[in-house]
Structure 1
Amino acid sequence: MSWRGSAPWKGSARGSHQTETVRLPYADRAEAGRVLAERLVPMGLDGAAVLALPRGGVPVGHEIARRLGSPLDVLVTRKIGYPPQPELGVGAIAEGGSPVFDGDLLDRLGLAEDDLDATVAAERAELDRRVAAYRGGRPLPNVTARPVIVVDDGLATGGTARAAVRALRERGPSRLVLAVPVGAAETVHALEPEVDDLVVPAAPWEFHAVGQWYRDFDQLTDGDVLDWLRRAARSRGTGRSGGTG
């Protein structure tokens, strides 16, 4: 695999490709998407599908899809939280895939995967609701034997990104790329084996939350996601709320 990025504060980026350091914080997700797009252009990803993780990944993915002339759609994921403390993610699930758990964390919490069956069922129900809201009856784009770019607005623990790329790997893309504007350095390196190419322009070692690397990091709604998808569809002349290529 190849890694394209820089670590502008502590440590140095490891990988087969180095690029110039980016200036942080990003103004907003759209600017971050434009920075990512310029890194992706030279990679020969003609015909790639761009799949953004909603909600925050969609405006980032919009800029990438526009620059590459690719269709934009969503790949819906949900965090699986520790029931007494739901904000603590112990795993994640992506549409079309199986739950992916953090085994080390489960061991530390004294949990087995089966203990989370009710939580997984609730998150799967919310995942299905969002799929229906974002795509209606349309299936995921066919990515078999085709490059696919998975996009999010940042990597903290990387749980949802890992679930997403594993679900897509099972569909047999010709090249699986994960593209994220900024990510915790430890998480970035942990995800290297999961994809063919990892594009992360900035991977700082001191990382507390994705939002700290953006000046404008407003929370997005389902309506915002649909607006970005419609905008992408209009720019490609598809007239649909998303793109299947």
Structure 2
Amino acid sequence: MGRIVFDENLVDLAPVFKDRRDAGRKLGTFLKKLDLVPDLIFAIPAGGVPVALEACKTLRSKMDLIIVKKVLYPWTTEAGFGAVSSLDFEVADVGLPEEVVKRQIEAALERVREREKLFRKGRPYPDLTGLKVCAIDDGIAAGYTMRVAVRSLKKLGAEEVWACAPTSSASGAEAVAQVADLVVILNLRTYYPFAVADAYENWYDLSDEEVLELLGEAEAEGCLIN
């Protein structure tokens, strides 16, 4: 089980960050202070991209993308009971019929494939053998998405995978620590209910177009690997 590191001065506070970019700069500074500079950062789109971009600038690191999507309940577009990448998946037993679960997994996987084409331009994931890498999202709630991201990166050969986010529920951080070598959080929250958005003064869902613009900025800044 990985260690959980967090900023004791930010426990149970909200809001904490102006926006995702502000959170990324602060996360990068926190990682640098801990002398944690990964060989490569993997952003989880969409919300993790601006966070990872600013962290990369601060750490003078390089970034790539790991595409993960929530497996949604069939009656909602928000709440999920698992997550999937092209390399790994995880679902909780929530009492749904097996055929419904399979259908929801396939729907999420189709969205993963679409995003891999759109954001990664169909590039294969790199060989990470011997590397210490960091997965970054804008927050961790239940932890499904980050757990799948971590296991996916390990399947690519990473020596260590750190799970990093500006904000997390305590239970989510603990769930991720079961699969990650290290979990780094700025704003850990122990109370319920938990919402990632509460950590941000300015919060909204990023469009695909905005993500592409951010990736263009990352490439221009020399942050994005080819």
- Normalising by the residue count of structure 1, what TM-score does the alignment of the two structures yield? 0.83
Q: Secondary structure at the match of 2:16?
A: coil
Whichever of the two has the greater Rg, that structure is 1
1:223-244 alpha-carbon deviations (Å, 9 max, x no partner) = 11111111111111x8xxx424
Tell me the equivalent position of 2:225. Answer: 243
Tell me the equivalent position of 1:17. Answer: none
Aligned-residue RMSD, C-alpha: 2.1
Any unmatched runs of 5+ in structure 1?
11-21
Deviation at 1:153, TM superposition (A): 0.4
| More off after superposition, 149-158 vs 117-126 | 117-126
Percent identity over the alignment?
Answer: 27
Tell me the equivalent position of 1:147. Answer: 132
Tell me the equivalent position of 1:31. Answer: 22
Q: Does 1:180 align with 2:165?
A: yes
Q: Secondary structure at the match of 2:210?
A: helix
Q: 2:107 aligns with which of 122, 127, 131?
A: 122
Q: Secondary structure at the match of 1:178?
A: strand
1:32/1:46 CA distance change after superposition, 3 Å: closer
Q: Does 1:208 align with 2:194?
A: yes
Deviation at 1:119, TM superposition (A): 1.8
Distance 2:42 2:11 in 1: 30
Q: Does 1:218 align with 2:210?
A: no
Tell me the equivalent position of 2:120. Answer: 135
Distance 2:35 2:86 in 1: 27
Distance 1:175 1:49 in 2: 11
AA aligned to 1:4 is V
Q: Secondary structure at the match of 2:41?
A: strand
Contact preservation (8 Å) 2:83, 2:90? yes
Tell me the equivalent position of 2:150. Answer: 165
- Normalising by the residue count of structure 2, what TM-score does the alignment of the two structures yield? 0.89
Deviation at 1:6, TM superposition (A): 3.6
What stretches of structure 1 move > 4 A for 4+ residues in a row? Answer: 7-10, 42-47
Deviation at 1:143, TM superposition (A): 1.7
Q: Does 1:4 align with 2:11?
A: no
1:91-128 alpha-carbon deviations (Å, 9 max, x no partner) = 1101322x21113xx2xx2544x542222222211111
- Work out the number of aligned pairs and report it: 223
